[in-house]
């Protein structure tokens, strides 16, 4: 019926009122196939109540017709009538051509209601009826992906790709499943192929993270920079993008990115800590200290990340940075053994021996069985003229490790004390 196409063209060209009036006129005298076509148009345009009237009218003439039952279920879903939608879908016969479509729709509905076991059962039933059907394989594979069952998802999504499912994001979903399963290098070609045909924020981020984990830092940077241009408020990108620049040795760019991220997300303590770490690495301890303080204002319990940062500085022999790092914890009443040790080491290496002695003594009350600390403390005591205390510690260490000839040599030199 050419008049239906005329109505569609009117609406598409902006003359909505005239187009809808023409459809209303056509349906009055339309035959059943045209009524179904008009109902589908109403449904697609969001005129659900009008669509339901026509589908109901047709169902009275063709009770049990699968296509009509599924269409009515879709209308009910649009109207938030979930239970009614299930009633219609349950009426679709197993012999009906629309039965598989009904199962997929039921699965989506049950999943949205939190009934994931029922949803899985419906999708599995559909897939078992035709295991090479690309859409059914995709539906079940995508379900497993959303549920975090990546190993189950992968072979199904691969079937959907191999059988050439006409689904826009199937390649990207397979790439995501590979990445989430830890197969980063294998995932990247699928991300590249998928993004050539379809780009969305979520997939660009997934590609960037996957490239980072695969060690392809330039590729990660390119994808995440594109994402940032598309949506600078996609705040989770900044941390990964900054780390990618850092891995490339571009510390200034890494710092600029993470501070830009702070402007977009002022309530993420981890970004402050990342900014602090980069500030210290760029030899800007004052700014680093400020970032640490701001992180602690957001979350006063952020002790562990600070201690990990302190460990890193000890390994890198950045002792001045350690002193700056822990200024932000100066007022805390909490007992923090590792901080005491870090401060003792840092003060010793920066030749503030009285401060070092204070922190070593605090730490010694807590690291009573840590041989690495005890050995360091003993040698500090020797340097400070506390040979008797050092001798006791070293004797205990030697009794625990009699093969330590170096400790025995030191004890022999301390025999006069």
Cα(301)–Cα(416) distance, rounded to whole angstroms?
48
User: Among residues 372, 362, 378, which one has the least CA distance to residue 417?
Assistant: 378
Q: Provide φ and ψ at 259, rounded to 5°.
A: -75, -30
Q: In this predicted structure, what is the pLDDT of residue 417?
A: 55
Query: Above 80 in pLDDT, residue 329?
Result: no
Q: What is the pLDDT of residue 332?
A: 65
Residue 283: band (very low, low, confident or very high) from pLDDT cuts 50, 70, 90: confident
Ramachandran quadrant class, 414 (left: phi over 0; alpha: psi -120 to 50; beta: rest): alpha
The pLDDT assigned to 313 comes to 86
In the prediction, which pLDDT does 330 show? Answer: 60
Query: How does pLDDT run across 9-34, given as a tens digit for each residue?
Result: 877 777 778 878 887 888 777 888 88
Which two structure tokens, joined as six digits, stand for 87? Answer: 């009633």
CB 206 within 8 A of CB 224: no
Distance CA 289, CA 320 (A): 12
- The confidence score (pLDDT) of residue 405 equals 85
- What gap in Å lies between CA 297 and CA 126, rounded to an integer? 53
Which of 346, 355, 341, 348 is closest to 321 using CA atoms? 346
Q: Which residues of 369-385 are buried (b: 16+ CB within 10 A; e: fewer)?
A: eeeebbbbbbebbbebe
Q: 104, 105, 103: which is closest to 93 by C-alpha?
A: 103
How many Cβ atoms from other residues are within 10 Å of residue 394's Cβ?
A: 23
Using CA of residue 302, residue 308, residue 313, residue 319, what is the dihedral sign?
positive
The CB density around residue 181, as the number of other CB atoms within 10 Å, is: 16
How does DSSP assign 26-47, residue by residue?
HHHH--HHHHHHHHHHHHHTT-
Q: pLDDT tens digits, residue range 354-412?
A: 999 999 999 999 999 999 999 999 999 999 989 889 888 988 888 888 888 888 888 88
DSSP class of 65: -
Using an 8 Å Cβ cutoff, are 179 and 210 in contact? yes
Query: 115-122 long-range CB contacts below 8 Å, 24 or more apart?
Result: 116/147, 119/143, 120/147
The rounded distance, in Å, linking the Cα atoms of 256 and 258 is 6
Task: Let me know: does 398 contact 404? Beta carbons within 8 Å.
Answer: yes
Contact call for residues 92 and 99 (beta carbons, < 8 A)? yes
User: Where is pLDDT greater, at 214 or 91?
Assistant: 214
């Amino acid at each position: 019926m050419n008049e239906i196409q005329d109505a569609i063209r009117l609406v598409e060209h902006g003359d909505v009122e005239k187009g809808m009036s023409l459809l209303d006129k056509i349906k009055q005298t339309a035959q059943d196939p045209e009524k179904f076509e008009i109902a589908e148009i109403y449904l697609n345009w969001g005129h659900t109540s009008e669509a339901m009237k026509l589908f109901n009218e047709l169902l009275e003439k063709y009770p049990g017709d699968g296509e009509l039952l599924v269409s009515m279920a879709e209308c009910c879903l649009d109207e938030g009538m979930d239970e009614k939608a299930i009633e219609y879908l349950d009426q679709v016969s197993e012999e009906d051509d629309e039965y598989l479509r009904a199962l997929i729709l039921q699965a989506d509905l049950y999943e949205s209601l939190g009934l994931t076991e029922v949803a899985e059962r419906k999708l599995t039933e559909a897939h078992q009826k035709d295991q090479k059907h690309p859409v059914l394989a995709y539906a079940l594979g995508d379900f497993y992906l959303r549920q975090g069952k990546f190993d189950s998802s992968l072979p199904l999504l691969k079937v959907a790709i191999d059988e050439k499912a006409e689904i826009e994001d199937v390649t990207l979903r397979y790439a995501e499943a590979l990445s989430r399963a830890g197969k980063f290098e294998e995932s990247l070609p699928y991300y590249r192929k998928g993004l050539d045909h379809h780009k969305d924020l979520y997939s660009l981020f997934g590609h960037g993270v996957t490239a980072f984990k695969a060690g392809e830092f330039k590729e990660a940077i390119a994808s995440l920079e594109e994402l940032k241009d598309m949506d600078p408020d996609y705040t989770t990108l900044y941390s990964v993008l900054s780390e990618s620049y850092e891995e490339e040795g571009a510390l200034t760019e890494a710092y600029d990115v993470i501070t830009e991220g702070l402007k977009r997300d002022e309530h993420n303590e981890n970004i402050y800590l990342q900014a602090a770490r980069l500030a210290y690495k760029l030899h800007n301890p004052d700014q680093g200290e400020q970032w640490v303080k701001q992180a602690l204002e957001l979350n006063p319990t952020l002790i562990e990340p600070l201690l990990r940062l302190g460990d890193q500085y000890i390994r890198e022999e950045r002792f001045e940075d350690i002193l700056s790092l822990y200024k932000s914890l100066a007022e805390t009443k909490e007992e923090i053994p590792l901080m005491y040790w870090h401060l003792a080491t840092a003060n010793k290496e920066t030749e503030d021996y009285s401060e070092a002695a204070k922190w070593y003594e605090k730490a010694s009350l807590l690291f009573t069985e840590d041989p690495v600390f005890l050995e360091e403390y003993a040698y500090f005591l020797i340097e400070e003229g506390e040979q008797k205390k050092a001798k006791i510690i070293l004797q205990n260490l030697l009794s625990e490790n009699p093969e330590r000839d170096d400790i025995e040599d030191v004890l022999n030199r301390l025999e006069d004390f």
